[in-house]
């Protein structure tokens, strides 16, 4: 029997609740496909800080590195919001994981399930059939650029500093991912930056243009300013196929796109490097306002696990089945609170898990 080593990192807030439903789906896949998931569980984020003094311990990081896939929940919460030391914040655990494993390619598919087209904040005809893939650079840019910090100014007052920086090599490797993905999809890439005000954006545009001309001229490339991209996403989102963008713009634009699909609770993500395990996590945060109530939407986490099946475990068929089961549960009218609308059946986290498992059969 094939054994896959999975590092499970539930994290903070609703993380453990949604991860419990992922576990159930994992058990189904084991039974249906005759594989074994050898699951190791670790701490990340605020809970890791409380228990181990750091948001991601060396030991957990080493275990994650040695696994076949890392399946994560979410990090952060008001308990740790006051922490001004960025190395100790819950988010630092996640950033360390991304950076240390050099997970530079963050894939964020924003798809609108037909059953949810009415749950979007936009009109049904604008979002029905929506299928965008964000390719977000994840290991560079302003998230990691030096210098950074808060410093005292000589004449009094303080200054906060962060640095946006991208090398040509970093731009080229993420652009390759976007072009390769586009070839398997709609064949179109929009590259979003702010070349009109930032040198890092200008270099981005130049390198994308060059790579495209040299190796990917079969793909249709358009450059778009990131602010215009935000506007176009809410005006006519279906014009996009693949959106290639940097770490910060990708963070912002993918949240906006998430709402088009009905709820932030729907969006999965995969973070991939050059070989080694991928990291799979929902796009949403730890939702402290509803944590512990058992009402969070587990779909983004379950779809993230489906991406793990596809991209790290070579089980594309199982991934298709899980995605179809999510679609089926939604078609049956099951809705967690975040998706609820008239005439639908409101269920809690476990109820949504029940519906998905039932659809899996």
Residue 12 found at the interface with Mg ion (CB under 5 A): no
- DSSP letter for 233, please: H
Task: Note if 218 is an active site residue.
Answer: no
CB of 75 to Mg ion, least distance (A): 11
Residues 6+ apart with CB under 8 A from 313: 4, 68, 69
Residue 226 interacting partner from ligand IPM, Mg ion, none (CB closer than 5 to 8 Å by kind): none
Burial label for 42, CB within 10 Å (0-12, 13-18, 19+), is buried
Element (H, E) at 334: strand 334-335
Shortest Cβ 255–Mg ion spacing (Å): 5
By CB under 5 A, residue 246 contacts Mg ion: no
CB distance 142 to 313 below 8 Å: no
Q: Which residue is nearest to Mg ion (CB)?
A: 251
Reduce the DSSP state of residue 69 to 3 states and report it: strand
Per the annotation, the verdict on 280 as an active-site residue is: no
Tokens of 124: 């049904």
251 touches ligand IPM (CB under 6 A):
yes
Q: Does 251 bind Mg ion (CB under 5 A)?
A: yes
Decide if residue 100 touches ligand IPM (CB under 6 A). Answer: no
By C-alpha distance, which of 265, 243, 300, 263 is closest to 107? 243
Mark whether 246 is an active-site residue. Answer: no
Partner in contact with 94, chosen from ligand IPM, Mg ion, none, beta carbon below 5 to 8 Å by kind: ligand IPM
Residue of 246, 251, 311, 338 with catalytic role: 251
Residue 194 annotated to the active site? yes
The rounded distance, in Å, linking the Cα atoms of 109 and 114 is: 15
Catalytic, out of 81, 87, 168, 227 = 227
User: Contact between 91 and ligand IPM (CB under 6 A)?
Assistant: yes
d(C-alpha 164, C-alpha 145), whole Å: 6
170 forms part of the interface with Mg ion (CB under 5 A)? no
Catalytic residues: 143, 194, 227, 251, 255
């Amino acid at each position: 029997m094939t054994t896959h080593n999975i590092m499970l990192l539930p994290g903070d807030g609703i993380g453990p609740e949604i991860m419990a439903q992922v576990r159930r789906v994992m058990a189904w896949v084991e039974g249906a496909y005759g594989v074994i998931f050898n699951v190791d569980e670790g701490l990340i984020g605020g809970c890791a800080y409380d228990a181990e003094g750091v948001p991601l311990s060396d030991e957990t990081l080493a275990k994650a590195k040695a696994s076949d896939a890392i399946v994560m929940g979410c990090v952060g919460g008001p308990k740790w919001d006051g922490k001004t030391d960025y190395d100790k914040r819950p988010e630092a655990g996640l950033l360390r994981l991304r950076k240390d494993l050099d997970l530079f390619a963050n894939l964020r598919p924003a798809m609108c399930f037909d059953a949810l087209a009415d749950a979007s904040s936009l009109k049904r005809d604008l979002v029905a059939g929506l299928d965008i893939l964000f390719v977000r650079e994840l290991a560079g840019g302003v998230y990691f650029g030096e210098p950074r910090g808060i410093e005292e100014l000589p004449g009094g007052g303080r200054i906060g500093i962060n640095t946006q920086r991208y090398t040509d090599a970093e731009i080229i490797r993420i652009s390759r991912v976007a072009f390769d993905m586009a070839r398997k999809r709609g064949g179109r890439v929009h590259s979003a930056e702010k070349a009109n005000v930032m040198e890092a954006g200008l270099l981005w545009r130049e390198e994308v243009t060059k790579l495209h001309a040299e190796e990917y001229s079969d793909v249709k490339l358009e450059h778009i300013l990131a602010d215009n991209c935000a506007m176009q996403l809410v005006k006519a989102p279906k014009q996009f196929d693949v959106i290639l963008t940097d770490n910060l713009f990708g963070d912002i634009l993918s949240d906006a796109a998430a709402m088009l699909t009905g709820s932030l609770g729907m969006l999965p993500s995969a973070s991939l490097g050059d070989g080694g395990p991928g990291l799979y996590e929902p796009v949403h945060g730890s939702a402290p306002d509803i944590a512990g109530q058992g009402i969070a939407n587990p779909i983004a986490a379950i779809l993230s696990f489906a991406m793990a099946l596809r991209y790290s475990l070579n089980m594309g068929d199982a991934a298709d089945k899980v995605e179809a089961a999510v679609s089926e549960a939604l078609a049956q009218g099951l809705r967690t609170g975040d998706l609820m609308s008239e005439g639908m059946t409101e269920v809690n986290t476990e109820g949504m898990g029940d519906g998905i498992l039932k659809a899996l059969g």
